[in-house]
Structure 1
């Protein structure tokens, strides 16, 4: 276990940070190793922890200015290199979000498990443990449990509990709340016992559909870590947190939970060029989509129960895909990659229509793609108004041919199109709620079509609605309007996006992707000509790109 006092570890963190500044002053490299050390000892063991996160199905190499890089084959090459050099003194970890991305991760296997073809390729890298990400829930609970059943690495998640579990401070059992998961694992590498605690974002209930979380509750990550870390310190020499919480929550964990040697994180898609040290704890994020891999080197000294980390280095590794790597890759891995690529290429050849211009996304303002999607939902349901969450649009579309692969990438979630009848006064409250979200940037706004609202913001930030028009007429508070959206907005997260609940909500038999495809095939996929949210008396905000 780590026996360094917290004050000493904090001092070492400060010295390590000073070392970084001096190193960079001499070398000026973005991905320079960060060094945190005391005097090495003769009984020291050197371990390497490789880590990634947020793959989102990016299985294949991308073409960059300096050649091809990233993807499963390149990641596997980095792992082979370290294991050839260090043998069993290497750990390979992933911080979650394997699903929801390009077409490769939307494919199903012969059992109908979404994401399984990608996961089978991905796990040929040789992972030791993976933390659940929020997007693992996107295809439903049954699909998630089926995926866990085929995953070879240990699947972690400490802060999901059964909804009836005692929320107190008693130790949590090792077995996780979802079948096939555990809260932590202890792996022995080079004779050193390394504990890995898995944590998922505390915001899970507000970003995942309701049904996959039925029967589960999400403990705050800090609370779960505090309950588990003392026991892990007793049974291990090194304690790592594998986090799908995002860098902001990782910082809070580092400040609040003693005993952690390092936090290996994901969820926020943060690419750190240098380690961030908070309260003496390195926070390490290697970025999304399999483009990079983090390399944490630990030197552990001592014997028996008196073992502790005396030095750590961290680098952000590039993952090149060179001819030399190709030649060194096992044939079975290359064939598995080719088989997955062939299935993706079939989707890329299936053209559904053409777009004359690029339709882009935004998170906090009206976007061309958001408006076009809402118009497609209105047409599919004969609705007066349509709303869609900005985060549900995952890539831009056009210009030129649009393929099935493009639609799977842009709309990976399979959300159903639904509608509800809403009184005018209630619709006004929903629009006002969306304006507050837009102005205060609480989360991604609802994209809209079918209405235009004009408003102003007072000196104290109060929002005053000046007018709302539904189509070409003023909103009638007593009238009933048909409003279309996705089941995610109307039934899973209504309070977040609408500020209220709607009933009854009626299905359409279509998914958002199918409604969009139908509009593109008809040549009728375009945003409204006019802005939907017009702020009066101040310049409009600059568009912000959609994030995770």
Structure 2
């Protein structure tokens, strides 16, 4: 979780927003109006509270209902927005294509959601079905289909008793790289800044407040050479946006940030917090009067769970629990998966997942991305649910034949993906030194690489088709889609080799970066 420098965070004091005042083509509401924006982002299947009793939609609804009641009592308006990524992260949700999450959002009264990159973890048919479940618009101005038409509505106008609020959606351009290639084929993710520059002047003529509901990320690009618009960049480049409700980078901004006259907010991840932004409109002027994050059972005062929401979600939570709870093996110690560590070094869990694939396929070498490992394995019993939490994407294990020379180049390209990115590679069966942009001293299964020899290399369908910036290999002769999902391969390996000792999978230092 990233934290912004404290000197950039503003206190909850009145701040004049200059971004939209001059652009408005009307006088605004006749009398001062107050508007509260409640916001979440990067939900990732957390419709149910975790084992510590934290977050969950039932408690989130209580928080939202309290703010709505307080705001209504003061004569104000409320919009509830989500900045995208409802999909992927918890088996009970993943197995049901996030239906419980969306049904819960409907019951909570969400007003709009941005399309996140993880909405493309599923096929477009599934995404359209999810869209059909939603009682709120799913927005993305910068996603186009092969015919040049927008795939989703670009914006929605909310008319609130004399006050008009325009909310438009933006999705990170890096979805073209990190999205599942099978699911985004034929789609174009246009630069967010270009789309905003076209839209914002139009919306300023129609609305008193303009909000970008943006799954862009607060951080700079993690992929070298890949353009990425972050929320700060958007604010600097496009005047006229009053508020950016952001997601994607899982950043917790404890208070709003002002950038070039635009307010930027982001509420961390998983619904741990509900963000609150308070605005006051006086004629054509928009003032920020407050902003904070409201914790959802993270300690302190307990937030009761809404009983109606619990009744709605409980059947989904119980569905399939018997299969998920089945113990398939044991771990003799923790296989940690701290995000920062996993994406910067070789790990025991990375080695375990690669060994499982080698065991299943007989491959000489395995290359997997760290971003495909989403959780660790704690010491003790391991259930199928645990495995699905580690490997939630349902990617298919694939193999491809390469010469030694081709393998060396493949290792060079994958090993060169930067630390900190989801593409940072975990390796099995090989050793080498990455030095000055080249690989030296390559060994395969303990023997020196032979340039003319044929080797079988395993990866998964997402990476094979170019996901996370990996070289595409699914178009090469000798490519095989095995049909085995990565989670099932890992489950079978754990069942055969338990108990698992993390020390037996600890990195050996065979992969070195100098």
TM-score over 0.5 for the pair: yes
Matched residue, 1:106? 94
3-state SS of 2:414 partner: helix
Q: Residue deviations 1:14-73, cap 9 Å, x none?
A: xxx99977xxxxxxxxxx5253149xx992111111000000011223466xxx442101
Matched residue, 2:470? 497
Q: Contact between 1:364 and 1:444, CA under 8 Å: does it hold in 2?
A: no
The range that moved more, 349-358 or 260-269, is 349-358
Matched residue, 2:64? 79
Check if 1:232 corresponds to 2:203. yes
Check if 1:336 corresponds to 2:321. no
225 and 357 in structure 1: CA distance in 2 versus 1, 3 angstrom threshold: same
Matched residue, 1:412? 392
Q: Contact between 2:432 and 2:510, CA under 8 Å: does it hold in 1?
A: yes
Check if 1:148 corresponds to 2:148. no
3-state SS of 2:452 partner: coil
Check if 1:89 corresponds to 2:91. no
- State how 1:148-297 maps to structure 2 within 5 Å: 148-165=131-148, 177-178=150-151, 181-248=152-219, 249-297=230-278
Matched residue, 1:314? 291
Check if 1:449 corresponds to 2:449. no
3-state SS of 2:345 partner: coil
324 and 512 in structure 1: CA distance in 2 versus 1, 3 angstrom threshold: closer
3-state SS of 1:522 partner: helix
Shift of the alpha carbon at 1:239? 0.2
- Give the distance between the partners of 1:220 and 1:315, measured in 2 at CA: 30
Q: Residue deviations 1:132-178, cap 9 Å, x none?
A: 1111110221111110011111111110012342xxxxxxxxxx733
3-state SS of 2:465 partner: helix
Q: Residue deviations 1:167-224, cap 9 Å, x none?
A: xxxxxxxxx733xx31100101242100001000011100001121122211101011
- State how 1:126-141 maps to structure 2 within 5 Å: 126-141=109-124
Q: Contact between 1:106 and 1:408, CA under 8 Å: does it hold in 2?
A: no
- Give the distance between the partners of 1:532 and 1:153, measured in 2 at CA: 51
Q: Contact between 1:34 and 1:274, CA under 8 Å: does it hold in 2?
A: no
Count of aligned residue pairs for this structure pair: 475
The range that moved more, 156-165 or 511-520, is 156-165
The range that moved more, 225-234 or 117-126, is 117-126
Unaligned runs of 5+ in 1: 1-16, 22-31, 109-113, 166-175, 537-548
Q: Contact between 2:356 and 2:490, CA under 8 Å: does it hold in 1?
A: yes
Q: Contact between 1:159 and 1:221, CA under 8 Å: does it hold in 2?
A: yes
Q: Which among 356, 363, 369 is matched to residue 383 of structure 1?
A: 363
Check if 1:531 corresponds to 2:509. yes
Q: Contact between 1:58 and 1:104, CA under 8 Å: does it hold in 2?
A: no
- Give the distance between the partners of 1:485 and 1:58, measured in 2 at CA: 28
Q: Residue deviations 1:100-145, cap 9 Å, x none?
A: 011221122xxxxx22133212332110001111111102211111
Q: Contact between 1:262 and 1:281, CA under 8 Å: does it hold in 2?
A: yes
Q: Residue deviations 1:390-427, cap 9 Å, x none?
A: 10000011321111111121111110001000110011
CA-based RMSD of the aligned residues comes to 2.6
Matched residue, 1:9? none
Unaligned runs of 5+ in 2: 1-5, 18-28, 220-229
Ranges of 4+ aligned residues in structure 1 off by more than 6 Å: 17-21, 321-324
Shift of the alpha carbon at 1:444? 3.0
Matched residue, 1:6? none
Shift of the alpha carbon at 1:326? 3.5
3-state SS of 2:157 partner: strand
Shift of the alpha carbon at 1:340? 2.6
3-state SS of 1:137 partner: helix
Q: Which among 452, 462, 465 is matched to residue 478 of structure 1?
A: 452
Q: Contact between 1:350 and 1:404, CA under 8 Å: does it hold in 2?
A: yes
Q: Contact between 1:385 and 1:450, CA under 8 Å: does it hold in 2?
A: yes
Q: Contact between 1:445 and 1:497, CA under 8 Å: does it hold in 2?
A: no
- Give the distance between the partners of 1:347 and 1:133, measured in 2 at CA: 29
3-state SS of 2:497 partner: coil
- Give the distance between the partners of 1:298 and 1:220, measured in 2 at CA: 29
Q: Contact between 2:347 and 2:507, CA under 8 Å: does it hold in 1?
A: no
- Give the distance between the partners of 1:392 and 1:435, measured in 2 at CA: 16
- Give the distance between the partners of 1:309 and 1:533, measured in 2 at CA: 55
445 and 311 in structure 1: CA distance in 2 versus 1, 3 angstrom threshold: closer
Q: Residue deviations 1:216-239, cap 9 Å, x none?
A: 211101011011111101111100
Check if 1:118 corresponds to 2:92. no
Matched residue, 1:364? 344
Matched residue, 1:544? none
- Give the distance between the partners of 1:399 and 1:18, measured in 2 at CA: 41
Matched residue, 1:48? 36
286 and 442 in structure 1: CA distance in 2 versus 1, 3 angstrom threshold: closer
